[in-house]
A and B are shown apart, each in its own frame.
Chain A
């Protein structure tokens, strides 16, 4: 797992674990809920839940994966409660600032593409591409079989590629941003 130089013991080094894992847990949660404020709130709640359960942590998985499991489950429950998934695409997209057009557009396009996925597909995609977890590790985090993870990733990739492809086919005026979008 990225950004995990040393595995800390949640029971005795929780404060250090908080500082070490805060940003990556926040990003994983934001990848599911896609809302900055909600992601911050859920990240804090993740650490509250983890703190209470720190003595029940068993080192079968790294503490980072354990925290992500709590966080992703909280995020999915949050979306289920709020029924946000249905209205996310409409609420998310705001036109980028012209000054940072190329840089910002690539990110907005990806966020828009992520918003077309269901929360469970987003979780699999973010854990795979951002956290760099293997399918087995994602399966442990999400509590589903590795085969389910593989099919979720494949499905999410297919949807995102289609979504990003259609965004890139909009016309010649966007050809400059294609380079940024493709990372070339």
Chain B
């Protein structure tokens, strides 16, 4: 839906339609009537911090590092034991 740019200046509403000033006041009054049932609970925040695991960035970094170590170790072991494609390849005898 394309709508015109609305300036900060209040506009007069038509019949049955609140003006921008009224709308702003209604929204403010409504939002200011919202109060949390429990209120601020700092100990709840501390419990959540204690119970939550490491931050996502740390988890991803650790997982990526572990993957690199596993791949590197697999390559070194494969090379040392000459397993599969890491072993010596047969040279075609018809190539001279």
Contacts and interface: CB of A to CB of B under 8 A. Distances in A.
Contacts of B26: 106, 109-110, 164, 181-183
B16 interface: yes
Contact of A165 (B1, B17, B24): B17
Interface residues of A, number: 48
Contacts of B61: none
A128 to B, nearest CB: 8
B42 A15 contact: yes
B56 to A, nearest CB: 10
Interface residues of B, number: 38
B18 A43 contact: no
B49 interface: yes
A158 B3 contact: yes
A51 B45 contact: yes
A14 to B, nearest CB: 9
Given A130-B32, A154-B6, 9 more contacts: A18-B42, A36-B34, A48-B45, A52-B49, A107-B33, A111-B30, A150-B6, A161-B13, A183-B29
Interface of A: 15, 18-19, 22-23, 26-27, 30-31, 36-37, 39-40, 43-45, 47-48, 51-52, 106-107, 109-111, 114, 125-126, 129-130, 150-151, 153-155, 157-158, 160-162, 164-166, 168-169, 181-183
3 closest Cβ pairs, A-B complex: A165-B17, A154-B6, A110-B30
30 contacts: A19-B42, A23-B40, A26-B36, A27-B32, A27-B34, A36-B36, A37-B37, A48-B48, A51-B45, A106-B30, A110-B26, A110-B29, A110-B30, A114-B30, A126-B31, A129-B27, A129-B28, A130-B31, A150-B5, A151-B5, A154-B4, A157-B23, A158-B3, A161-B17, A162-B17, A164-B18, A165-B13, A168-B17, A181-B26, A182-B22
